Structure 1
């Protein structure tokens, strides 16, 4: 079948959004594409980038025309999730309900209590001997996230670090077949095996999230294989992006000591500071969709079958939505929200847990830490779809007793 002609009013960008240059500076790269127009055609890969905040949000409301069950780079892959992100109703409704049932309500109350205990323990341990020079990604964020959430999932201690490799594999699936992608997926292969073993019913401990999902299957709420796929989706999205985004938050606070001072002086800003952090440094660069029918996006008409990427990362710095979007402000008015967890029926199912993890840790840092200072150059992770920092060298100075 021939590809429909690109509408004449849509700008064309001849660059490569998946080049090493673009991956090294996705905020700058996607920002330049965003300023070409609200919809931009990428001929190298035959998709449309929806780039600006308003058009992305409006598009995500219309799941009947703008579907999630196809997208650019949709070739079969063992890392590609099979539920939630890549579904439309009615199957999405059923599986999203199952995910929300185990990631909210009474479980979230239990998570909050446990997260707070572990956050206090870890931060206190880091500061036990006074000022501490650490890598905020490995020594704080990953140490915390790979403790608290796997415990709630009932995962074994051995092999947990593979969850980051698994997430790295998952978030590099949606992009072109290159040596970079092949290297990333090969590196994630042991993690894929570990996740498969720990997603089956017989690996679940009574009372844990995985066990509860299989209980929902037993109650006829979803097929058993869907229960396993929902659990795998939690494994895929619950670690790599959370650890990277917490490290990015600490980098933002280290880069802006006046904002850290503002936050210490007013701890009630913790929740808002986290939302500003995830706006400023979204954990995901984009999400995919396709047009089931001819569809209007802003003033542009896209043909039936058009594949799209919704550019979350660029939307967080859209000056049409935010005043001074490249400025980090812990007290920014975020009444209109952000798109860093998606929007509409496909808002990230784990957003409540991610928010709880990050806010709980940030509250503990506010309690115990006086200053956060960079001691070297942070390093952003290279990834097709995920965004975050994999190395953030900082000095944490404790508050005076």
Structure 2
């Protein structure tokens, strides 16, 4: 796949080191669409690890960019000094369209709402789900065309994660692709191509209309579940949970978006990322096929290498010293997990994809502290199972062109990934 990517990377590195340090804005989504983010973070880690950045987007403004492993850990594990309210993304929510969700709440409300849904991804429930996931993976993989190019994102990554979400919500099966659409709409930038226009006002109006459609749909399901005995699906848990049963409509929508995006974007983009990473690193692909026991290790390495959510945001509750800088009360902070996962001082050869590296679970992709990803074990389980099933079927998966990446500095993922499977085992 000779696509000139080496020249693109070299040009990005030259640009990253040529511009004034103060002008670097790592939240520029173009850096992620073009996969040229690396050298900008490399420079920030070395020269200005706690960096004041100014976005051109009016609703983002100035924010602190935290790029090294240790500084990210310091922020992520101190929820008293660094609040998750009102949002975990850089743009502030519009005053007339706030979506409370437990990931963007502080204790104690965060704790009781998270506890309400956590049984869905408990070890006991994951053991019950495992045969269903394996059956779904087998059905999806057995339906793929052999010897014909197709889009792996659509046929595999989206389909598996959407089926899993539909199961967790007990959502109508025939409408499950709505979950994917709502996830994309919730996180898309105005000029992402998701909306009919890149005009921010038009795009925002379309976003709100579709998210209201989402909550209206889920309200019907809520009303069905609240009038039925408690069950094991997420909607029933929310409808019957002591800490969540009195949520208003917007808080319900906020938590739905959290669960949909968390269950959709992270897993689907890591599934796609694993195919791309192994294609780009044939020695690691060979290593995996010769020793399938490395699948769990490969999964963890892919989650680090991909970092499917590039950052999480916080807001300082008081003046704090970090990395020699004074962060003022009220300042916004972006913890760049994508950069911490490439920190040369903590991870050996961090830009290399090494499926059997030591301490392979040492990564920031799931966060730390009270907001550590509630579904991280489910994500790992889906990835493990699909690769167990892939290795039973396909001697190789060939990527046939460049992936089209998501235009976002938050969701680090893929819109398309063209592949061919030449033959089956």
Q: Which TM-score tier does this pair reach, normalised by the shorter chain?
A: 0.7 to 0.9
Equivalent runs, 1:181-220 vs 2, <5 Å: 185=204, 188-189=207-208, 191-200=210-219, 201-204=222-225, 207-214=231-238, 216-217=240-241, 220=242
CA contact (8 A) 1:280 1:316 kept: yes
Distance (whole Å) between structure 1 residues aligned to residue 406 and residue 367 of structure 2:
21
Which residue of the partner structure matches residue 114 of structure 2? 96
Equivalent position of 2:247 in the other structure: 225
Post-superposition CA distance 1:44-92 (Å, at most 9, x none): 4211001111110122111111111145422337876412221110001
1:22 counterpart = 2:10 = no
Match of 2:175 in 1: 159
Structure 2: distance between partners of 1:86 and 1:173 = 20
| C-alpha displacement of 1:97 | 0.9
Deviations 1:132-189 (A, max 9, x none): 53211011111222223313321113432232232223324799xx947657655645
- Give the equivalent residue in structure 1 for 2:3: none
- Separation in 2 of the partners of 1:263 and 1:302? 45
SS at match of 1:323: coil
Partner of 1:133: 149
SS in 2 for 1:119: helix
The answer as to whether partners of 1:68 and 1:289 remain within 8 angstroms in 2 is: yes
SS in 2 for 1:321: coil
Q: Please give the alpha-carbon distance, in whole angstroms, between the structure 2 residues aligned to 1:317 and 1:350.
A: 23
1:315–1:30 distance in 2 versus 1, CA, 3 Å = same
1:248 to 249, 257, 273: 273
Residue 6 of structure 1 corresponds to which residue in structure 2? none
Equivalent residue for 1:106, pick from 124, 133, 142: 124
Q: C-alpha offsets along residues 201-231 of structure 1, whole Å, 9 cap, x if unaligned?
A: 12548735134314642xx344431783534
2:366 aligns with 341
Matching residue within 318, 324, 331 for 1:293: 318
**Unaligned stretches of 5+ residues in structure 1:** 1-10
Q: 2:65 — aligned with what?
A: 49
Alpha-carbon separation, structure 2, partners of 1:271 and 1:81: 35
Conserved 8 A contact 1:293-1:303 = yes
2:134 maps to which residue? 116
| 1:34 corresponding residue in structure 2 | 45
Q: Partner of 1:3 in structure 2?
A: none
* 8 Å CA contact retained: 1:247, 1:390: no
The TM-score with structure 1 as length reference comes to 0.86
Tell whether the 8 Å contact from 1:171 to 1:386 is kept in structure 2 after alignment.
yes
Give the secondary structure class of the aligned counterpart of 2:377: helix
Distance 1:348 1:276 in 2: 17
| Count of aligned residue pairs for this structure pair | 384
The equivalent of 2:7 in structure 1 is none
Alpha-carbon distance between aligned partners in 2 of 1:79 and 1:394, rounded to the nearest angstrom: 40
**TM-score, with structure 2 as normaliser:** 0.81
Conserved 8 A contact 1:39-1:48? yes
**For the structure 1 residues 23 and 240, does the alpha-carbon distance in structure 2 shift closer, same or farther, using more than 3 Å as the test?**
same
Distance in 2 (CA, whole Å) between partners of 1:19 and 1:27 is 9
